[in-house]
A and B are shown apart, each in its own frame.
Chain A
């Protein structure tokens, strides 16, 4: 099983600032990496797939990078609606696995 480790667990950021979230895989997943956003009481929403491709309707302030075992989600200028929990997921191997999540909170 491929373990996905996200850091930090909590990120405190002021509105308008840049947020950088990390996701590390225990072995290479190539570019088979997705990022999701989840707000309280809501289902997750796909942000990024293929490590760097934005899903339909996702604002350009969200960007993904990386390959192999190291990945990054960057939110260039945090808006109020971006405060949420973010999960990475690898889909290179069974079982599919998620990271533990990073909570982005208002500083």
Chain B
């Protein structure tokens, strides 16, 4: 069964740090782009960050640039999100998600960044 399981959420004070993990199983982890997506209480979905297969490409939403770092360990089938300088507005459920789809053009492989597999999420609360 294809599965993603997040962990590492919790209560942290403003200015603090937290590291989220996402354990993958049931598919060849190293073949896929991966995402972190968050959802504040009662709000919609917000994309946070993306990483490619060998960590050579990373993208972030502006609001977390310089504070959050996405990384992965293909040997451990794991995705991470290091969150520093946390703010109240970072309070949310954080989901990891697998990106799927690719195509070839002029001999080069390109990827699509829609999310076909999601974890159940881990909750991060930033409060004093």
Kindly state whether residue B120 has any CB partner on chain A within 8 Å.
yes
- 8 Å CB contacts to B: which residues of A70-107? 87, 89, 91, 94-101
Question: Are A43 and B121 in contact, with the CB atoms below 8 A?
Answer: yes
B20–chain A nearest beta-carbon distance, Å: 15
Question: Are B119 and A96 in contact, with the CB atoms below 8 A?
Answer: no
Interface flags for A25-51 (1: CB within 8 Å of B; 0: not) read 000000010101010001111100110
Question: Are A95 and B45 in contact, with the CB atoms below 8 A?
Answer: no
Among the listed A44, A97, A100, A101, which residue makes an inter-chain contact with B115, where contact means beta carbons less than 8 Å apart? A44
Give every chain B residue within 8 A of A95 (Cβ-Cβ). Answer: 47, 59-62
Give every chain B residue within 8 A of A32 (Cβ-Cβ). Answer: 112, 114
Chain A interface size band reads 20 to 34
Give every chain A residue within 8 A of B35 (Cβ-Cβ). Answer: 96
Interface flags for B65-82 (1: CB within 8 Å of A; 0: not) read 000000000000000000
Give every chain B residue within 8 A of A98 (Cβ-Cβ). Answer: 44-47
Question: Are B101 and A96 in contact, with the CB atoms below 8 A?
Answer: no
Among the listed B46, B62, B101, which residue makes an inter-chain contact with A49, where contact means beta carbons less than 8 Å apart? B101
Which of B112, B114, B116 has the most C-beta atoms of chain A within 10 angstroms of its own C-beta? Answer: B114
Question: Are B50 and A96 in contact, with the CB atoms below 8 A?
Answer: yes
Residue of B nearest to A85 (CB): B44
Q: Which residues of B contact A (CB under 8 A)?
A: 35, 37, 44-47, 50, 59-62, 95, 100-101, 112-116, 118-121
